[in-house]
Homo-oligomer: A and B are copies of this chain.
């Protein structure tokens, strides 16, 4: 598998950011994600739905994974997420053999992406300032909701 280049990763991140902004506009937690196929096709996209659906199981990554429907294999796929994936979403990536994770930022929350790298998943952290600003503002304005979403 070829390593992903930064320009491609940033283009894909825009989809995840658009999802995060949709979630924020709905009054939800501003984290978005998208799952891209080995050939670059968008398989699924989604955002955190804790507030909107009262559903704690729909983190951005699980929502994108769900939207992609049943897939026979995840080999060569890339999960793009605005924020470092928590253990739940990192476990998803490992279990299903998603090949790569593009992380918008890992500054406001450091999840399991190092663990994934140890297990052979290609990780690219973009240190995207828009993603960081989205989360920083959200955590400042809604600390209780944020802690609920990560079980703290």
Q: Any chain B CB within 8 A of the CB of A57?
A: yes
Q: How many residues of A contact B (CB 8 A)?
A: 31
Partner of A92, one of B68, B74, B91: B91
Per-residue B-contact encoding for A63-103, CB less than 8 Å = 1, 0 else:
00110111111100000000000111111101111000000
Contacts of A87 in B (CB 8 A): 91-92, 94-95
Contacts of A71 in B (CB 8 A): 56
Min C-beta distance of A32 to chain B, whole Å: 16
Q: Any chain B CB within 8 A of the CB of A62?
A: yes
Instruction: Tell me if A112 and B96 are in contact (CB < 8 A).
Output: no
Contacts of A152 in B (CB 8 A): 97
* Contacts A56-B69, A86-B95 known; 15 new A-B pairs at CB < 8 A: A54-B69, A54-B70, A55-B66, A55-B69, A56-B66, A70-B148, A72-B148, A86-B91, A87-B91, A87-B95, A88-B88, A88-B95, A88-B96, A90-B91, A91-B112
